Amino acid sequence: MFDTGRELKLLSRFQKFSIDNRNTMSTNPNTTEISENSYNNISPEAAKDIDELKRRIKGLHAGKEDEERFKHYRLTRGVYGQRQFGVHMFRTKIPYGKLTTAQLIRLADTSEKFTPGNLHITTRQNIQFHYVKLNDSPKVWEALADAGVTAREACGNTVRNITASAIAGIDPNEPFDVTPYVHQTFEYFLRNPICQEMGRKIKIAFSSSEADSAYTYFHDFGFIPRVKKENGEEVRGFKLVIAGGLGAVGQVAQTVSEFLHEDEIIPYMEAAIRVFDRYGEREKRMKARMKFLVKKLGVEEFSKLVEQERTAIANKIVKIDRNLVPQPEPAAYKFAPSNTPIDAVAFDLWKRTNVFEQKQKNWFAVQVRIPLGDIDAERARQLATLIKDYAADDLRLTVNQGLVIKYVREEHLPHIFNELTQLGFAQAGFDSTADITACPGTDTCVLGVTNSTGLATKLSELIQDEFPSLVEESNIKIKISGCMNGCGQHTAANIGFHGSSIKKGAMVIPAMQVVIGGGVDKEGKGFIAEKVIKIPTKRIPEVLRSLFNDYEDSSLQGEYFNDYYYRLGKRYFYDLLKPLAKIESLSPTDFFDWGQDAQYRQEIGVGECAGVSLDVIGTIINDAKEKLQLASEALEHGAFADSIYNSYAAFVIGAKALLLAEDVKCNSQRKIISDFQELYVEAGKIEFEGDFSEVVLQINKQEPSEEFARSFLQYSQDFFKKVIEIREKQLADTGQDKLVVGQYYNA
């Protein structure tokens, strides 16, 4: 029902891919064999992850693992359900979008082997594969892990991929290169026990300068680099903002420090994530992000809890290795076969809009527009070869679904342009009004309401044809999401759209919610766009015409688009666009979404980011047992803080199991702890020495010493034994385990 040209192309590739692989891939999931690891460069940690994924897939097919529990597990391993039945989206985790050419080639080869052969660049500086069969996901991970790419915690309620300005390290306006800080943060939180099963995801971004090209203002943690003098010496630090967010309820992040020392950024995040994990909402998914917790508590109270939590963390400071991500070496000089652009006019425009001189003098960066973020495998390999020959072997994926090539010699720019032209990637206007960001929408996403990619293509063509000067306009951004959740970051755009619908009797009209006034201004101030009006999607090109024409007529000389919008006000723009919202005189095509060959039918699935939707008490108790095992292992390896956190988790999960057995809702860990004290300890249903809350919350009152780790683990183990005894008695009385549905389970 959503056959855009892009989706048709992907489906055509998928159908051919399926036929070509029919003899080598079993259609029976119970008999498909997963190949043994044949790679030499997979780390022990990645190998363990991959082996566990293999084992649990086999357990799922053998009926030994609940499907909903497996869903929660696979999300944290980058495997996400897709709109098309029987296939998945496989998401990689590529911190700050950094790839080598060898990694790009491996991604291309892997996509060709296990998918229709398309690499999709996301707004989180990741690469996604689509149409991946579940049984192939460990093979995909093996191939990528061998090249140093992971999928661990790419989805799910974890610390997601950490983004950063794609030009960090070469930005002429940066006080210092933030990439070592990003990379060390990524390594610190990967597989960290404090962020494996949170109520919702955490997103972190680092800007290279005050311009905030990383959009820190809508992240849970945002960092902007700063330098100051202390005792005559230069000291590095960051402005820290927290609790921003997009989605249905956008919020600009709040500043908690104008200058946080570089060695304190990771400890601060660890303490804050612990607070979020304990106090954050888990019952109501739409209220579970950090922005809602900070709004509920207030910045001052949240900061007090963070400060209190610092006692529990092992690393009070984390010294950053500033040489962790060294500047790459430019490619050795190579004679270019062409030094004259094939189109001089197009080259001049491309050079003005897509090329800039780096802070390293006489070296240039090339910013490449990738329409819709899609690169097929063959062109990805050709692009990798071009980069390796004429630039540094260090490319960056960008938040606007493009990429950056670094350390290009000026004399090689004509050849780069010519080669990109042949590849179809020499469009001028990188990050301009014409460079429209769009999520995959209804092409592949189960949450998609209306098509975003077909509309993005249409609007880009409209700008090129009717408003060509906007190809050089970088202060008006357009972003599109297929639903309100914001993967296309529509509320971070000056002009944004998200998928919706309008009813007319029994008919449903595909529509877009128009939002205006988001983005970052020239001073780096962030804005969240306001909802203005809902318009049938086929009329959105006319919306753009109306806005551009009115901006030209009604804006003041040199006025920034957002200033023009907020000066005139939301009502003004509602009235301007209202004629396009009228549905009394619809044409037949208004009932078709972009690229559809049939009347629109809304097909919205259930998103998976929230994790598990049902379970049984016995399985939850097993979760507590697993946490105790992890606590013991961490203790043996001297990771005392990790051991303590897992012992704490076992306390909470055990208490949760018994509360759920009595139909008590569990919407936060803190509530579980207090409810268990009242409903079990004080009610005399369990023998427990002392106050349960005080015992469990020793976690943030004690230094993470070996002595405390051992005693806390023993306390937790003793408690777990009592949980088992109580549950066995409950089962003896009822004769069966209890199903736990939906929100009762979440915490």
Torsion of CA 405, 408, 411, 417, to 10 degrees: -10
212 and 174 within one domain: yes
User: 512 in helix, strand or coil?
Assistant: strand
* pLDDT score of 613: 40
Is the model's pLDDT at 747 over the cut of 70? no
- Angstrom distance (rounded) from CA 104 to CA 147: 9
Report which DSSP code applies to 324: S
Residues 417 and 298 in one domain: no
277 lies in the same domain as 348? no
When mean pLDDT is compared across 125-139, 324-338, 444-458, 726-740, the lowest value belongs to 726-740
**Residue 337 lies inside a defined structural domain of this protein:** no
* pLDDT one-digit tens code per residue, 365-420: 999 999 999 999 999 999 999 999 999 999 999 999 999 999 999 999 999 999 99
47, two tokens: 């190998």
Which CATH number belongs to the domain containing residue 374 in this structure?
3.30.70.3340
Q: Does residue 30 have a pLDDT over 80?
A: no
Q: How confident is the model at residue 10 (pLDDT cuts 50, 70, 90)?
A: low
What share of the chain has pLDDT > 90, as a percent?
77
179 and 214 together in one domain: yes
Report the alpha-carbon distance of residue 383 to residue 701 in Å, rounded: 54
CA distance 160 to 203: 6
Confirm whether 601 is domain-assigned. no
Residue 507 lies in a domain: yes
Other CB atoms within 10 A of residue 719 CB: 22
Q: Given this model, what pLDDT does residue 736 score? A: 63
User: Mean of the pLDDT values across residues 680-704?
Assistant: 93
The answer to whether residues 111 and 152 touch, using CB atoms and an 8 Å cutoff, is no
Reply yes or no on whether the pLDDT at 24 is more than 70: no
- How far CA 240 is from CA of 125, 194, 432, 468, in Å, comes to 21, 21, 28, 39
Question: Does 693 lie in the same domain as 575?
Answer: no
Residue 303 lies in a domain: yes
Q: How large is the average pLDDT for residues 265-283?
A: 95
Q: Binning pLDDT at 50, 70 and 90, where does residue 83 land? A: confident
* Residue 472 pLDDT > 80: yes
Q: 113-123: per-residue pLDDT in tens?
A: 999 999 999 99
**pLDDT per residue as tens digits for the range 153-202:** 999 999 999 999 999 999 999 999 999 999 999 999 999 999 998 999 99
Considering the entire predicted model, what is its pTM? 0.91
**Mean pLDDT for the stretch of residues 78-83:** 90
Q: Is the pLDDT of residue 603 over 70?
A: no
Q: Quick check: 78 pLDDT over 80?
A: yes
The rounded distance, in Å, linking the Cα atoms of 480 and 437 is 6
* pLDDT tens digits along 483-526: 888 899 999 999 999 999 998 887 889 999 999 999 999 999 99
Give yes or no: residues 739 and 618 share one domain. yes
Together in a domain, 367 and 457: no
Q: How confident is the model at residue 23 (pLDDT cuts 50, 70, 90)?
A: very low
Predicted confidence band at 624 (pLDDT cuts at 50, 70, 90)?
very high
Whether the pLDDT of residue 592 is over 90: the answer is no
Mean pLDDT of 228-238: 95
**pLDDT above 50 (res 27):** no
729 and 631 fall within a common domain: yes
How many domains is the chain partitioned into structurally? 5
Q: What is the mean pLDDT of residues 577-593?
A: 88
pLDDT value of position 66: 80
Indicate whether 278 belongs to any domain. yes
Under the banding of pLDDT at 50, 70 and 90, the label for residue 67 is confident
CATH code at position 263: 3.30.413.10
Q: What is the chain's mean pLDDT, rounded?
A: 90
Please tell me whether residues 302 and 388 are part of one structural domain.
Answer: no
The arithmetic mean of pLDDT across residues 234-255, rounded, is 95
Q: What is the pLDDT of residue 611?
A: 45
Q: Which of 423, 453, 478 lies at the terminal end of a domain, its last residue?
A: 423
Going 73 to 77 to 83 to 85, the CA torsion angle's sign is negative
Q: Within 13 Å and on the Cβ side, how many CA atoms surround 526?
A: 26
Q: In the predicted model, is pLDDT for residue 33 greater than 50?
A: no
* CA 384 to the chain's CA centroid: 25
Confidence of residue 627 (pLDDT cuts 50, 70, 90): very high
CB-CB neighbours of 621 under 10 Å? 20
What DSSP line would sit under 32-81, residue for residue?
PPPPPP--S---HHHHHHHHHHHHHHHHHHTT-S-HHHHHHHHHTTTEEE
Phi-psi region of 519 (alpha: psi -120 to 50; beta: other; left: phi over 0): left
Residue bearing the bigger pLDDT, 563 or 20: 563
731 lies in some domain: yes
Q: Is 607 exposed, middle or buried (0-12, 13-18, 19+ CB in 10 A)?
A: middle
State whether 307 and 390 are in the same domain: no
Domain enclosing residue 9, as ranges: 5-25+37-145
Q: Residue 597: its pLDDT value, please?
A: 72
Residues 13 and 119 reside in one and the same domain: yes
In sequence order, what are the beta bridge partners of 89? 80
Separation of alpha carbons 608 and 200, rounded Å: 11
- pLDDT at 110 exceeding the cut of 80: yes
Please compute the mean of the pLDDT values over residues 558-572 and round it to a whole number. Answer: 97
Q: Is 479 helix (H, G, I), strand (E, B) or coil?
A: strand
The pLDDT, as a whole number, for residue 185 is 98
Q: How confident is the model at residue 606 (pLDDT cuts 50, 70, 90)?
A: low
- pLDDT for residue 584: 84
Amino acid at 591: F
Q: Is residue 288 part of a domain?
A: yes
Same-domain pairing of 630 and 522: no
Residue-level pLDDT at 744: 46
Q: Which pLDDT score, from 0 to 100, does residue 36 have?
A: 47
- CATH number, domain with residue 626: 1.20.120.330
Give the C-alpha separation, 156 to 75, whole Å: 5
Tell me, yes or no, whether 290 lies in a domain. yes
